[in-house]
Amino acid sequence: MTLPDGSGRLAALIQRTNGMEGLDWRNANSIAAYLDRYSDGRSGPIVRCFLVEDSCPEANKPIN
């Protein structure tokens, strides 16, 4: 079965990283850096935007 729109990527990441072991969930920059390692540097700016900034112009832009 093929999953639409890249669905399952997060589940695969969680499996591959043993439940995101070692991630500091209290630190937005740590989360962004961690996810950057698995997204070719694409997710960090988005994570920082949502977790650090008050207004996020990236919120309506697709990740792709």
For the chain, what are the domain ranges? Answer: 24-64
pLDDT of residue 61: 63
Tell me the torsion sign for CA atoms 32, 34, 37, 39: negative
The predicted pLDDT at position 36 comes to: 85
For residue 1, the model assigns a pLDDT of 47
Cα 7-46-30 angle, rounded to 5 deg: 100
**Per-residue confidence (pLDDT) for residue 63, from 0 to 100:** 57
Give the relative orientation of helices 28-36 and 43-51 as an angle to the nearest 10 degrees: 160
Output the tens digit of pLDDT for each of the chain's 64 residues: 454 455 567 788 888 888 888 888 888 888 888 888 888 888 888 888 888 766 676 656 665 5
Q: What is the pTM of this model?
A: 0.59
